[in-house]
Amino acid sequence: MLSKTNEKILVVQNLNVSYQKLKVLFDVSIEVNTGEVVAIVGRNGAGKTTLFRTIAGFIKKDSGSIFFKSKDIGSLPAYEVAQLGLKYIPQDKQVFSDLEVRENLELGSYATKDYNWDVVLEYFPKLKTLLKRKAGHLSGGERQMLLIAMALLGNPELVLMDEPTEGLAPHVINDLSHAFKEINKKTTLVIIEQNLPLTAEIANRVYSMKEGKIIAETVDKDDIKKMVFEKYL
Ligand SMILES: Nc1ncnc2c1ncn2[C@@H]1O[C@H](COP(=O)(O)OP(=O)(O)O)[C@@H](O)[C@H]1O
Ligand SMILES: [Mg+2]
């Protein structure tokens, strides 16, 4: 069981990122302690996805630093970052549609050499009944579950989830919220989330982003419960 510590699993310092001439992130700094659930909130276009993609090694930064378990990962390609145990689940919910759920998981296993599905399927009992279904025929919630299960193969220490509940029905969000709490018993989570009540329920640290900057950090339990971060949107 992973308990919250003061050990910093992720430290991002003064990150600046641009798409060609368009500057998108301005001196972004965040910290994540081992065992936490950290949420990042902010309107569309604030730069949340860009932040995740840069941490995961898909976008080159202009300047700043990124440390994962005290190791400087700021110049590593995405596959190396993933191999170190930092996984990123993109916003677009892309699976291999023509392949069965089982085959999608096999690809995840092949990449990580982790063939033990029992652990990851325990979080999503529903997926166990869908192993032979074409991934393209899954509902949005089922697809998200598959993506999370695939990301958890290899037992990563840190998982970044980009709007995992976007567009999902309330009862599905409920199931996912329960799964997040279970997954967090073993894995540190950073979640971009537009659902503020869900954020208040699961996060113990909330960063608010606006126009490419972190404009607030909320760590007080009661403040998070009261959703004070809502005023920074
Ligand atoms: N591939 C890209 N090329 C150029 N501009 C982009 C690209 N992706 C995102 N942007 C721009 O960067 C800004 C931040 O986008 P993004 O990180 O996706 O924000 P969020 O995830 O908070 O909605 C937006 O202005 C967006 O239009
Ligand atoms: Mg986004």
Domain of residue 206, residue span: 8-232
Do the domain assignments include residue 163? yes
Asked whether 208 lines ligand 1 (CB < 6 A), one says no
Bridge-partner residues for 37, per DSSP? 189
pLDDT band at 71 (very low <50, low <70, confident <90, very high): very high
Question: Mutate which of 15, 26, 41, 50 to test ligand 1's pocket (most atoms within 8 Å of Cβ)?
Answer: 50
Do the domain assignments include residue 122? yes
Given this model, what pLDDT does residue 76 score?
A: 98
Residue nearest to atom 13 of ligand 1 (CA): 45
Please provide residue 168's backbone torsions phi and psi, each rounded to the nearest 5 degrees: -100, 150
Do the domain assignments include residue 3? no
Give the CATH number for residue 116: 3.40.50.300
pTM: 0.97
For 95, the token pair is 């699976």
Helix (H, G, I), strand (E, B) or coil at 213: strand
Query: Whole-number mean pLDDT of the chain?
Result: 96
Q: For the residues 48-59, what does the mean pLDDT come to?
A: 98
Asked whether 48 lines ligand 1 (CB < 6 A), one says yes
Residue with tokens 């969000």: 173
Helix (H, G, I), strand (E, B) or coil at 135: helix
Give the angle 88-92-97 at the CA atoms, nearest 5°: 105
Do the domain assignments include residue 2? no
143: left (phi over 0), alpha (psi -120 to 50) or beta: alpha
How many domains does the chain divide into? Answer: 1
pLDDT band at 5 (very low <50, low <70, confident <90, very high): confident
Strand-by-strand arrangement of the 158-162 sheet: 86-89, 158-162, 188-192, 37-41, 205-210, 213-218
Do the domain assignments include residue 1? no
pLDDT band at 155 (very low <50, low <70, confident <90, very high): very high
CA distances from 129 to 26, 53, 113 (A): 45, 32, 23
Given this model, what pLDDT does residue 6 score?
A: 82
Do the domain assignments include residue 183? yes
Asked whether 50 lines ligand 1 (CB < 6 A), one says yes
